[in-house]
């Protein structure tokens, strides 16, 4: 399927700079663009590639002004990254969706499945399950007793949802993720053993959530572990029992959130960041990669580095000193030597 630059600009409410009739039929990266493809420029680090790319059309922000001659057609939009996402969503919507229920799926007679489902082979759906319309449930998915799943949900191969958990509308859970496994609750005994504390709560995932591959969200001891509306979670993330994640928060891979922590709205967690248990994290908090949060964050919209976490600007100053420690050490040793020599001279004069 081909589209002209002008057609794309009309859809995005953008402005063409160059040939409005040039056509594209695919997407490409700006650094490895090919004729007949569309690419985008969002990160300033990639600006130089716009002068060498072989792509036919480039989405750019409204304020982009070239510093030399271009060989591509531009489409200027308010936000090129958002515009690209809109185009990719449109293209994806044209791809055919799987339908039908495999004869190899095992579905309880007491389960309720909405209209227009796809249920793949070797999927197991237990009794009392309720699934909304347009579900896409790939092979080897397990859905436990009394789970509730909303409309337009996608569960990729190998997803496991334990009993009584709740999944909202328009959610996507990628392969191998486990929702509702027991929280890590054990009570030490006098003889040194650990007795398991039954985890009788659930996981509740609100609408428009996406969870990456091999991520785990533990059920609560009581009540619910809650993933708020619009949250986006990467691969290999651990969300412990009784955690609450505020809406539109994002977490990169290998993040770990310990039990009973409450995370605000619109927070960001870099890769391998972590939060200890029973804390409160203010709205808009940003944790850089490998940041470790050990205390409550009370003020909203702060950015943090390091472990224990500290204000990002303070961390950068402290790290600049840390890198200079070997020089400081040598200077101190030289100064100590000079003082010792001077003291010896003074002693000899006496």
Residue 65 structure tokens: 């002004």
Contacts of 123 (CB under 8 A, 6+ apart): 102, 105, 106, 107, 137, 138, 139, 140, 141, 142, 143
Pull the structure tokens for residue 117. Answer: 């489902």
In sequence order, what are the residues at sequence separation of 6 or more whose Cβ sits closer than 8 angstroms to the Cβ of residue 192? none
Do the beta carbons of residue 129 and residue 146 sit within 8 Å?
A: yes
Pairwise CA distance, residues 162 & 236, whole Å: 18
Residues labelled as active-site residues: 241
Tokens of 138: 């790939």
Q: Which residue has the tokens 């609450």?
A: 244
How far from 131 is each of 80, 104, 142, 237, 338, CA to CA, in Å?
Answer: 36, 18, 13, 25, 80
């Amino acid at each position: 399927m081909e589209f002209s630059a002008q057609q794309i600009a009309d859809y995005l409410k953008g402005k063409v700079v160059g040939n409005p009739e040039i056509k594209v039929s695919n997407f490409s990266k700006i650094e490895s663009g090919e004729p007949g493809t569309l690419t985008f420029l969002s990160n300033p680090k990639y600006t130089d590639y716009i002068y060498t790319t072989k792509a036919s059309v480039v989405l750019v922000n409204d304020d982009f002004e070239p510093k030399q001659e271009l060989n591509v057609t531009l489409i200027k939009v308010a936000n090129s990254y958002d515009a690209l996402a809109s185009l990719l969503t449109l293209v994806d919507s044209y791809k055919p969706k799987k339908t039908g229920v495999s004869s190899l799926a095992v579905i309880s007679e007491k389960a309720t499945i909405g209209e227009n489902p796809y249920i793949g082979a070797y999927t197991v759906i237990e009794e009392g399950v309720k699934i909304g319309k347009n579900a896409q449930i790939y092979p080897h998915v397990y859905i436990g007793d009394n789970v509730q799943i909303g409309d337009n949900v996608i569960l990729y191969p190998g997803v496991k949802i334990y009993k009584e958990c709740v999944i909202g509308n328009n959610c996507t859970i990628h392969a191998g993720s486990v929702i509702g496994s027991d929280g890590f609750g054990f009570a030490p005994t006098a003889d040194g053993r650990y007795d398991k504390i039954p985890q009788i709560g659930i996981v509740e995932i609100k609408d428009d959530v996406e969870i990456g591959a091999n991520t785990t969200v533990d059920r609560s001891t009581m009540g619910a572990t809650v993933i708020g509306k619009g949250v986006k979670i990467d691969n290999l993330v651990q969300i412990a029992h009784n955690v609450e994640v505020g809406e539109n928060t994002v977490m990169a891979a290998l993040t770990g959130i310990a039990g009973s922590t409450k995370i605000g709205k619109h927070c960001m967690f870099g890769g391998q960041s972590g939060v200890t248990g029973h804390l409160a994290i203010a709205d808009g908090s940003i944790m850089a990669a490998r940041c470790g949060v050990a205390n409550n964050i009370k003020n909203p919209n702060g950015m943090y580095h390091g472990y224990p976490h500290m204000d990002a600007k303070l961390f950068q100053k402290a790290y600049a000193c840390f890198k200079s420690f070997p020089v400081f050490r040598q200077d101190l040793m030289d100064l100590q030597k000079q003082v010792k020599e001077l003291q010896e001279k003074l002693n000899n004069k006496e």
